[in-house]
Every structure is written in C-alpha cells, then in structure tokens.
A and B are shown apart, each in its own frame.
Chain A
Amino acid sequence: DAGVIQSPRHEVTEMGQEVTLRCKPISGHNSLFWYRQTMMRGLELLIYFNNNVPIDDSGMPEDRFSAKMPNASFSTLKIQPSEPRDSAVYFCASSFTSFSEAFFGQGTRLTVV
C-alpha cells in the first residue's frame, strides 16, 4: 500500500483565495483525521471521520473551513476565503479502527500571502 496520500505537497496562495487540500487514506481504514500543525500551537485536530461520517468538527477554526468525505477513499479540506493566519502544515491521517494507531500523509505546506 502506498500509505496516506496528500496533495498538493506545497501550496502558495493569495489571501482571499479558495484552497482545497486532498487526501486518500489507506485502503480499508475506517477513520480519517485532518490535523493542522504550527510552531505555536503544535498538532491540532481539526475534524475526523468514521466510516465517512464526520464525528467531531469542534477543532475547525471557523466557518471558512469545511471538510468532506464523499467516499472511503477520498477526503477534502477546503478553506474559503484563505487568510495569512491559515499558513501551516496540514496533515491527513487514517487508522484501521477507532482505537488503533494513525498513519500520516506527508502533509501539505500551505502559505497564504
């Protein structure tokens, strides 16, 4: 298996633009997580899905952020409109069950200028 695949690896965009981050979890994994990492705040859980259903989105910063998981093999995290303070590394991770370890993608490094 190729592991968790995220795209793009790097994204530079202007303030106000829409940004879409993509994730393909490991086949057969039932849980999918979106995290954001910054130096100041560390790894923050934004939202996670179980069997394609959003379970907890309390970590989503505000209405500008939205996430979807239309099927078991694909998820998106969208920021509209983007702001400079959204600049961070965004990680997607998946796990086989609710209690097992999560495997991470390589992340998307987002810079909003």
Chain B
Amino acid sequence: RKEVEQDPGPFNVPEGATVAFNCTYSNSASQSFFWYRQDCRKEPKLLMSVYSSGNEDGRFTAQLNRASQYISLLIRDSKLSDSATYLCVVNSGGNTGKLIFGQGTTLQVKP
C-alpha cells in the first residue's frame, strides 16, 4: 500500500463548479499535512497547509480527519486558472521530516 494515495482523475468540471479531492495516508503518526499545486512542466508549489481544525483560504478549504486518516481539498467557484495537478503531502511522522507526496489529482476546468 502506498503511504499517500490519491485518485489521479482527471476531474473535468465546468467553470463555477465545486470540486473536492480526497487523499488517504497510512502512517497514523503523521503530523504535518499540505496541499501542493503543480502546473505542467513546473515545480510543485504550496497551496495550503492542513490543520486539524480545518482551514480556509478564499475559495479553497482543507480538512483533516485523523481518525480515518484522510485529507480533503474543496475548491468552490472553480476558475480556468485552477486547472493543474493537486498533490497531497504528508510528513511521515517522527521528528525526521520525511515529506511524502501522493501521485496527484489532475483538475481540468472548462469554459
């Protein structure tokens, strides 16, 4: 089983739609969680950190469910510019800071 698993998609949605991605992780000792965005032929960039209480940044909402070991990302009112690959990232636990990336979920927003 992979340490971090995501549905690769692609998710094809119209502009203005709401879309949600989920990610599961296997190491219950994991302590830090992030969502990254990667555009074609570019490096991954931090979209947002994920906190236990959930957090929101504009149209983006991230949630963490430690009991079920999954993380979610919700994008509201999607824009054409949201088209990208979204990567779930988990710190594998302990104090060594091993950041493990999921395979990524591809989102294509269409006019």
Contact = CB atoms under 8 A, between A and B. Distances in A.
Does chain A bind chain B?
Answer: yes
Interface residues of B, number: 22
Question: Chain A: interface secondary structure?
Answer: strand
Given A101-B34, A104-B43, A104-B45, A35 B101 contact: yes
A55 B101 contact: no
A104 B97 contact: no
B43 A105 contact: yes
A95 B46 CA distance: 12
Interface in A28-58: 31, 33, 35, 42-43, 45, 48, 50, 55-56
Given A35-B101, A43-B87, A101-B49, A56 B96 contact: yes
A104 B44 contact: yes
A35 B89 CA distance: 13
Contacts of A98: 91, 95-97
B60 to A, nearest CB: 15
Interface string B74-111: 00000000000001010100011111111110000000
Contact of A99 (B45, B91, B101): B91
What are the 10 closest A-B residue pairs judged by CB atoms, nearest first?
A98-B97, A104-B43, A43-B101, A42-B103, A99-B32, A101-B46, A31-B97, A55-B96, A101-B34, A104-B44
